A and B are shown apart, each in its own frame.
Chain A
Amino acid sequence: MDLELRTVEGKGRKVLYVGGEIDAHTAPQLKDEIIPLTEEQETKVIVDLTNVNYIDSTGLGVFIGALKSAKNHNSKLELTGLNDRIKRLFSITGLDEVMNIDEDKREEAK
């Protein structure tokens, strides 16, 4: 199954809308899309996961790679629209402490 990926560029910020399941099969697609975004200097990359219902550990790895890449290019990475299961995954792995996760967006969307 393919991921839906759509990037909307604004001034100094880019929003990547993702839809589908991020697992070992689809993670490479996400990686190819997200890493170039974080490689631009001083950009804010916002990843909207409202339409993602599942992420496995390989998918999580893509976000870690993106986080490291953003740091190396003085950019910022922010995640938004996480469902409860995904939020739990980020919390258990401790990633919520090193990653910018916007808590409120999901409730607005609901």
Chain B
Amino acid sequence: MADTFSSMQNQYKTILKKYIEDKNEVVLYQAQQFSKKILENQVSPEETVSFHLEAIDEFFPKLPEGVRDSFELLIEVMMGFGMAYREHQSLRDKQKELEAEINVAASMQQTLLPANIPEVESLDIGVISMPATKMSGDYYHFIKDENDCIGLAIADIIGKGIPAALCMSMIKYAMDSLPEQRLQPGALLENLNRVVERNVAANMFITMMYGSYDPRIHQFYYSGAGHEPGFYYNYAEDKFEELYAKGLALGIKRETKFREYHKRVEPGDFIVLLSDGVTECRTVDGFIEREEIISLIRKYQHMTAQEIVDKVFYELERLQHFQLKDDFSLIILRRKV
């Protein structure tokens, strides 16, 4: 540091000398570059003033009376800036530490989400899930059993950020501990609700849609716990319908029953599940309506499921000027043949 310090001092001297000899924009540009270097090397404002004082002391040995003293006053006045500058540096370091900590937590959270999408010959599945900040309050889950039956869940935890993320890990472990009802949506939600109700604060709740797909008979069974309705695309009629399962959100009432719905899925049909970040997207022009989501999906429906969710996400992100207000998740499951 001491070495850099005196080299910084010399660089300043050189620039100042050049400027005094030949006032021009080139030197001023160098000075501007040098000011960046000053920040990089953490030279404080009062030190910068002292660079100047020492340089002019050397260049003009016969400084008028009082000029030198005036710089001492200036150094004193710069002390406040110097202290504020050092405080800023220390706060910035602290912020970096905090960010690093959150990054670790965020990557730990990623491991709670399924590492890959299950592959089934007759199905095409796409998923995207993006947190508004670093930690997410959205959760999704996939499972495939020995008969190629798929279980899938999408959940939205109230709020966002770290509190929601902590709650999300509870959901994940609760679901892991209830393996036997995996493919029975109603029973699964009923049990999950009991765990959640016992473990969350009074004003916390979670919404979830759970579905299971049996590719042997192409039936989709699903139940909802207060979750934002999804869509069902009917290929033969080229129509989008609402996919809604009435049910109370998790964590509100201990004994809650969940109705199970089912649907026969034809080739080309697809199921869209989403978190309410999708339909609660607010832009300057107001809310993004569900119809707009449908038209976005339509625009890309000739692509693969993964391409559709990626493109729809990109467009919604753009509508919000790339600043998500809420966590966002979108899953598409399509019957290929």
Asked whether any CB of A lies within 8 Å of a CB of B in the complex, the reply is yes
Q: Which A residues form the contact surface with B (CB < 8 A)?
A: 24, 31, 56-58, 60-62, 64-65, 67-69, 85, 92-95, 97-98
Decide: A95 and B156 in contact? CB cutoff 8 A.
no
User: Once bound together, how far apart are the Cα atoms of A94 and B229, in whole Å?
Assistant: 12
Decide: B249 and A94 in contact? CB cutoff 8 A.
yes
With A24-B159, A95-B248 as known contacts, state yes or no: A61 contacts B253, CB within 8 Å. no
Residue of A with least CB distance to B161: A24
Contact of A92 among B159, B204, B205, B229 (CB under 8 A): B229
Contact of B158 among A61, A67, A85, A94 (CB under 8 A): A61
Which chain B residues numbered 74 to 112 have a C-beta less than 8 Å away from chain A?
A: none
Decide: B248 and A97 in contact? CB cutoff 8 A.
yes
Chain B proximity of A3: nearest CB distance (Å): 16
With A58-B159, A98-B248 as known contacts, state yes or no: A92 contacts B203, CB within 8 Å. no
Decide: B247 and A94 in contact? CB cutoff 8 A.
yes
Decide: B248 and A93 in contact? CB cutoff 8 A.
yes
CB-defined contacts of A92 to chain B, threshold 8 Å? 207, 226-229, 244
Decide: B229 and A58 in contact? CB cutoff 8 A.
no
User: Once bound together, how far apart are the Cα atoms of A15 and B159, in whole Å?
Assistant: 27
Over the window 207-242 of chain B, the binary record of Cβ atoms lying under 8 Å from chain A Cβ atoms (1 yes, 0 no) is 100000000000000000111110000000000000
With A56-B280, A58-B159, A93-B207 as known contacts, state yes or no: A69 contacts B202, CB within 8 Å. yes
Residue of A with least CB distance to B156: A57
CB-defined contacts of B202 to chain A, threshold 8 Å? 64-65, 68-69
Main secondary structure of the interface of A (DSSP, over half): helix
Check: B252 CB closer than 8 A to any chain A CB. Answer: yes
Chain A proximity of B244: nearest CB distance (Å): 8
With A31-B203, A56-B280, A69-B202 as known contacts, state yes or no: A94 contacts B225, CB within 8 Å. yes
Ranked nearest first, the 7 interchain pairs of A and B with the lowest CB-CB distance are A65-B203, A94-B248, A93-B226, A61-B203, A65-B202, A57-B158, A94-B226
Decide: B248 and A62 in contact? CB cutoff 8 A.
no
Over the window 279-291 of chain B, the binary record of Cβ atoms lying under 8 Å from chain A Cβ atoms (1 yes, 0 no) is 0100000010000
CB-defined contacts of A94 to chain B, threshold 8 Å? 225-226, 246-249, 252
User: Once bound together, how far apart are the Cα atoms of A77 and B227, in whole Å?
Assistant: 23
Check: B124 CB closer than 8 A to any chain A CB. Answer: no
Chain B proximity of A93: nearest CB distance (Å): 4
Check: B269 CB closer than 8 A to any chain A CB. Answer: no
Decide: B253 and A98 in contact? CB cutoff 8 A.
yes
CB-defined contacts of B248 to chain A, threshold 8 Å? 93-95, 97-98
User: Once bound together, how far apart are the Cα atoms of A62 and B66, in whole Å?
Assistant: 67
Chain A proximity of B15: nearest CB distance (Å): 49
Instruction: List 13 other contacts, CB 8 Å, given A64-B252, A65-B201, A94-B246.
Output: A24-B159, A56-B280, A57-B156, A57-B158, A58-B158, A62-B203, A64-B203, A92-B228, A92-B229, A93-B207, A95-B252, A97-B248, A98-B248
CB-defined contacts of A69 to chain B, threshold 8 Å? 202
Residue of B with least CB distance to A63: B203
Decide: B276 and A57 in contact? CB cutoff 8 A.
yes
Decide: A93 and B253 in contact? CB cutoff 8 A.
no
